[in-house]
Amino acid sequence: MKLGVFAVLFGDKSLEEALDKAKNAGLDAVEIGTGGYPGNSHCNPAELLQDEEKLNRFQQAFKDRNLTISALSCHGNPLHPNKEIADKHHEEFEKTVLLAEKIGVDTVITFSGCPGESEHSKYPVWVTAAWPEDHPEVLEWQWKERVIPYWEKQNQFLEKHNVRVAIEPHPGFVVYNNETALKLREACGKQIGVNFDPSHLYWQQMDPVVSIKELGQHDALFHFHAKDTAIDPQNTAANGVLDTKPYSDEMNRSWIFRTVGYGHSEEEWKRIISALQLIGYEGAVSIEHEDSLMSVDEGFHKAVEVLKRALIKERIGEIWWA
């Protein structure tokens, strides 16, 4: 496994400055944002596909620092009922796949997307209950009329260009856990797998190790995000885990995102890394920062410290078992 970072953390810096941050921290890999919600401050696929000189400079920046690109990421909602949003996110996804093919990156990351409840919707509708009867009817319509037709076509497109997509399970989208991720993969094709982020599972009361092992049995874990979640026992006991308060309202939320090791112990993260090793995962452990209680620099370096220790432990284990 390689230790890496999702470079959108350093979106206020140039590509070269962001890569220097990664290199100086002793990392091996960088995940690059190419559109969607994270934006494309370091990489505009449409531009690079049209300009060989700019593309060469982009690639050279990584070569000069001996860094690899773990994935290109364009987290968006190509199923959005607002056609303008859906078309934009779909176009960014397609351009990202074409760029990935051109530069030899095998993985593109995005969300599954979430449609509305009908042809006439204005906003996405995330179904979270089996009753009243409207909910399962909406869910059936979404998968049959929107989700499967779209991702069947994208699976063919990905196969043609020898790229795979790592869907990030995320509440608010139709794929939010292993069950929905594997349902999408089974229905639409094997180019579709998972970008695994424990932080989205923790607050849903899932065990990341159990989920990692299940995905490993299906060869479906394509990429990994390192981000943590802290659960407030008092607020959760009072209100449960479904929480629509702003992330900035840390005092009153049931849970908030934290940097690695500040939601769960270092031992828990060693347990997660061990599970990745157990299923034969050899990709990047890509640090993502959404911790509202720490600066980007502090959260980034804290995560690096914890993960380096966890990865060193597993590398020693590999040598011992060899």
> In this predicted model, what pLDDT tens digit does every residue of 270-288 receive, in sequence order?
999 999 999 999 999 999 9
Number of Cα atoms under 13 Å in the Cβ half of residue 229: 22
Alpha helices in 117-167 (DSSP H): 134-141, 148-160
User: Residue 312: its pLDDT value, please?
Assistant: 77
Q: Domain with 147 in it: what CATH number?
A: 3.20.20.150
User: Residue 190: its pLDDT value, please?
Assistant: 98
Query: Taking residues 21-25, what's their average pLDDT?
Result: 98
Residue 313 pLDDT level (bands cut at 50, 70, 90): low
Query: In this structure, what token pair is assigned to residue 225?
Result: 């995000």
Q: Which residue has the tokens 């209100």?
A: 239
| Distance, C-alpha 138 to centroid of its chain | 26
- Does the pLDDT of residue 320 top 60, yes or no? no
Query: Taking residues 7-29, what's their average pLDDT?
Result: 98
Residue 316 pLDDT level (bands cut at 50, 70, 90): very low
User: Residue 120: its pLDDT value, please?
Assistant: 96
pTM for this entry = 0.95
- Does the pLDDT of residue 153 top 80, yes or no? yes
CB 56, CB 90: distance < 8 Å:
no
User: Residue 24: its pLDDT value, please?
Assistant: 98
Q: What percent of the chain has pLDDT over 70?
A: 97
- Does the pLDDT of residue 317 top 70, yes or no? no
Query: Taking residues 197-211, what's their average pLDDT?
Result: 98
Residue 314 pLDDT level (bands cut at 50, 70, 90): low
The torsion angle over the Cα atoms of residues 128, 130, 132 and 134, rounded to 10 degrees, is 80
Gap between the Cα atoms of 155 and 159, Å rounded: 6
- Does the pLDDT of residue 80 top 80, yes or no? yes
Determine the structural domain holding residue 68 and report its residue range: 2-321
Query: In this structure, what token pair is assigned to residue 282?
Result: 């050899």
CB 315, CB 273: distance < 8 Å:
no
Query: Taking residues 204-218, what's their average pLDDT?
Result: 98
User: Residue 322: its pLDDT value, please?
Assistant: 30
Query: Taking residues 87-105, what's their average pLDDT?
Result: 98
How many other CB atoms are found less than 10 A from the CB of residue 238?
10
The DSSP line for 62-119 is: HHTTT-EEEEEE----TT-SSHHHHHHHHHHHHHHHHHHHHHT--EEEE------SST
Query: Taking residues 141-167, what's their average pLDDT?
Result: 98
Query: Taking residues 101-118, what's their average pLDDT?
Result: 98
The DSSP line for 235-295 is: HHHHH-S---S-TT-TTT-SEEEE-TTSSS-HHHHHHHHHHHHHTT--SEEEE----TTS-
Q: Which residues pair with 225 in a beta bridge?
A: 286
User: Residue 319: its pLDDT value, please?
Assistant: 39
Number of domains in the chain: 1
